[in-house]
Amino acid sequence: MPEPTSPPAAAHAPGRPTLEAIARAAAVSLSTVSKVLNGRPGVSAETRGRVEQLLHDSGYARRGLDPERGGLLELVVADLTSEWSMEIIRGVERVARESGLVLGLSALDDVSRPGADWIAGVLSRKPVAVVLQFSDLTASHRRQLRTRNIPVVVVDPAGDPPADVPAIGATNWAGGVAATRHLLGLGHSRIAVISGPPDMMCSRARVAGYQSALQEAGLALDPAIAAAGDFSRASGEREARRLLGHDDRPTAIVCGNDLQALGVMDAAFALGLDVPGDVSVVGFDDVAPALWARPPLTTVRQPLQEMAEEAARLALRLRAEDVENTRLELATSLVVRSSTAAPR
């Protein structure tokens, strides 16, 4: 009987997989695998998907320095004009400069779901690492970046990232507690809340802290003075007009961020109310406009620049070594200014 022929070398053969083995398993040329790996065009979606899956299943990952890769540290933000984003940019840029790298910026319309154009651009640019603002990556995106040894760290995650996605956040629950305790300590008992989007983890955590502080003081949550916005100044003003426009209005409002708090102050002034005489206002973040407001805004400081720096440093460490603890929350702190006072 003729001897059975040996099967073609599989991409998952013992030892570190090679691109030649992956090309044989995918029944394509080595140049096609190289195109997929480097994010270049000229490969059909079906072939690209097959090669990507083989790269993932084989455990292939680039190691060491890529001679084609420039010194680029990429940051993905939602809005290049917002104070929140500017704080994140400053933090990542500082680490990039210290590390001899160039900061690359990408602004996405929908940071919660970056699409195919974004991932293709990243693979083409070959950054040494990526810091994402608010973004959740699909499993496919994570596989593609991991295969190419492009570490990704999320800063201030909107949701609960998968276990294999490193993230740097802040103690949002503790911040909500601190803001509410401050108002309780001043003597307020009818304290409203205007949160950010309910589907965002940081919003829910801040509201949970607010609720916990009320319960600790023996006060029940009143749904009539609980509202939600979208972290914009306009949504803060809109919800505050509703909350403050009746006789049984709250004497204080805890806001999901500083922009919403500024919107609350706009509404109060439009209604002829004094801040803090008629209503005390607390924000969250401590971005620059909080200090410029009149009166200056009491707020919970979220260490945005420090969070961005930690995210960038972690991303660069992950290129060179295994890191056990890839989740970190930095402490928030209450900054008391002139927008809060004892109720009349």
Q: Which pair of tokens denotes residue 110? A: 């929908």
Per-residue pLDDT, 34:
67
Which one of 33-42, 233-242, 310-319 scores highest in mean pLDDT?
Answer: 233-242
Per-residue pLDDT, 182:
98
- Taking only Cα atoms into account, the Rg of the chain, rounded to an integer number of angstroms, comes to 25
- 13: pLDDT strictly greater than 70: no
| Averaged pLDDT, 317-329 | 85
Reported as type and span, the H/E element at residue 280 is strand 280-285
pLDDT in tens, 61-77: 555 444 445 589 999 98
Contact criterion met (CB below 8 Å) for 68 and 124: no
Please name which of 78, 79, 83, 80 lies closest in space to residue 262, comparing C-alpha atoms: 83
- 8: pLDDT strictly greater than 70: no
> Which residue has tokens 């919660």?
112
Confidence band of 249 (pLDDT split at 50, 70, 90): very high
Q: Maximum CA pair distance of the chain?
A: 101
Give the lowest-confidence range in 135-139, 194-198, 226-230: 135-139
Reported as type and span, the H/E element at residue 91 is helix 83-98
- Greater model confidence, 35 or 124: 124
| CA–CA gap between residue 300 and residue 199 (Å, rounded) | 21
- 259: pLDDT strictly greater than 60: yes
Per-residue pLDDT, 148:
81
Please name which of 286, 326, 312 lies closest in space to residue 128, comparing C-alpha atoms: 312
Per-residue pLDDT, 80:
80
- Greater model confidence, 129 or 108: 129
| Averaged pLDDT, 209-218 | 98
- 304: pLDDT strictly greater than 90: yes
What pTM was computed for the model?
Answer: 0.78
Contact criterion met (CB below 8 Å) for 145 and 153: no
Averaged pLDDT of the chain? 85
- 342: pLDDT strictly greater than 60: yes
> Which residue has tokens 């760290």?
153
Contact criterion met (CB below 8 Å) for 257 and 82: no
Confidence band of 51 (pLDDT split at 50, 70, 90): confident
Q: Which pair of tokens denotes residue 39? A: 């994010």
Give the 3-state secondary structure of residue 194: strand
pLDDT in tens, 262-281: 999 999 999 999 999 999 99
| CA–CA gap between residue 193 and residue 236 (Å, rounded) | 10
